[in-house]
Amino acid sequence: MKTYRIAAIPGDGIGVEVIAAGVEVLQALAGRDGSFDFAFDHFDWGSDYYKRTGLMMPDDGREQIKGHDAIFFGAVGAPDVPDHVTLWGLRLAICQPFDQYANVRPTRVLPGITSPLRSVSGPELDWVIVRENSEGEYAGVGGRVHKGFPEEVATDVSMMTRSGVARIIRYAFRLARSRPRKLLTVVTKSNAQRHAMVMWDEIAAEVAAEFPDVTWDKMLVDAMTMRMVIKPQSIDTIVATNLHADILSDLAAALAGSLGIAPTANLNPERAFPSMFEPIHGSAFDIAGKGIANPIGTFWTATMMLDHLGEPAASARLMRAIERVTADASFHTPDLGGKATTRQVTDAVIAAIAGDNA
């Protein structure tokens, strides 16, 4: 029997609650399937670890997880640790060295969930956002001089390489080709950012020539936010820079009903390093410890991990279980307007897995 070694990094706040739920659901799924199993190694890295040690993860942290089949990540962020410390110290400290350059973010209105958009009744909103995840605005290039003085100057340089842009655009075209509508929108801001973003547009046109069967268009990011609200049906696959896609995907998650259901995969498509799977949301300290975090984003994330591991049947089984549970409003957590707890949603998904006879 195949055993997948998973590095579980719950992190902070509700990250701990949703990863615990996700591990239970994955174990139930393996038990139901019978042909594979999971071995979870838990790592207590995050803000509490930082307060004890001054580091978000140990110096040899990446060594400890580089042999795992996948990384199952919760969220980081604490009220008393600066956000740039938690983000750079753990999440980006894994994504960048492991070259997880493709951040894939599916968005769909699940059964039983209502989009805040009047024009959307469900299946018309079915998008995948592909986020460049290794450079751009989050390259970490920049600095501050004369810190704290009136003449202070600070920069965050958006660094784009031809190879980095080409590989993410090619990844997005391939993904668009695999979807029924074969439609891709390339998002930039090349009217105002006239160097890197113009290069991005040029590369998009070059790569597009390799995909004559994919219909593609270009959109400025500000106009894209409008199109997502006004003409959601006109969109299928989106590719955008690190910052732009970060923002667009929170909007997408809200339009699909809640940030609490949105999943993401940080992929190293060449599989030289493990890929990392996480819900989009953060540590949500406003609701942490209350047992009401929506675990659906983490469960959906787990389906992406199963696809990546090569278990499409188990992935489909989990997605069916998720959709059976969201369809029943008595299993909606407060972010969806309901009263259900993380425990109740998790139990309902486990019961749906057990009762799935397909």
To ligand NAD, the closest distance from the beta carbon of 18 in angstroms equals 6
Nearer to ligand NAD, 189 or 281 (CB): 281
Work out whether 293 is an interface residue with ligand NAD (CB under 6 A): yes
Work out whether 16 is an interface residue with ligand NAD (CB under 6 A): no
In the numeric block, the tokens 């920069």 are attached to: 155
* Per-residue mark of binding to ligand NAD, 147-186 (x: CB under 6 A): ----------------------------------------
Q: Which of 75, 252, 255, 322 is the binder for ligand NAD (CB under 6 A)?
A: 75
Separation of alpha carbons 186 and 169, rounded Å: 8
Sequence-separated contacts (24+) of 124-128 with Cβ below 8 Å: 124/232, 124/233, 125/232, 125/233, 125/255, 125/256, 126/236, 127/232, 127/235, 127/236, 127/237, 127/238, 127/252, 128/104, 128/175, 128/179, 128/236, 128/237, 128/238
To ligand NAD, the closest distance from the beta carbon of 282 in angstroms equals 2
Work out whether 284 is an interface residue with ligand NAD (CB under 6 A): yes
To ligand NAD, the closest distance from the beta carbon of 91 in angstroms equals 5
Closest CA to 173 of 236, 234, 227: 236
DSSP letter for 87, please: I
Q: Which of 237, 283, 303, 326 is the binder for ligand NAD (CB under 6 A)?
A: 283
Instruction: Please provide the distance, in angstroms rounded to a whole number, between the alpha carbons at the two ends of the chain.
Output: 21
Separation of alpha carbons 257 and 120, rounded Å: 11
Work out whether 71 is an interface residue with ligand NAD (CB under 6 A): no
Work out whether 246 is an interface residue with Mn ion (CB under 5 A): yes
Question: What's at 87, amino acid-wise?
Answer: L
Nearer to Mn ion, 69 or 246 (CB): 246
Name the binder of 75 from Mn ion, ligand NAD, none, CB < 5-8 A by kind: ligand NAD
Name the binder of 237 from Mn ion, ligand NAD, none, CB < 5-8 A by kind: none
Class of residue 176 by CB neighbours under 10 A (exposed 0-12, middle 13-18, buried 19+) = buried
Rounded to 5 degrees, what are φ and ψ at 63?
-60, -40
Rounded to 5 degrees, what are φ and ψ at 78?
-140, 150
12-20, 62-70, 117-125, 238-246 -> range binding Mn ion (CB under 5 A): 238-246
28-36, 148-156, 210-218, 246-254 -> range binding Mn ion (CB under 5 A): 246-254
Q: By Cβ distance, which residue is nearest to Mn ion?
A: 246
Work out whether 125 is an interface residue with ligand NAD (CB under 6 A): no
76-84, 152-160, 187-195, 310-318 -> range binding ligand NAD (CB under 6 A): 76-84
Separation of alpha carbons 86 and 77, rounded Å: 6
Nearer to ligand NAD, 237 or 333 (CB): 333
* 194-253: contacts with ligand NAD (CB under 6 A): none
Tell me how crowded residue 220 is: count the other CB atoms within 10 A of its CB. Answer: 16
The residue ranges that bind Mn ion (CB under 5 A) are: 246
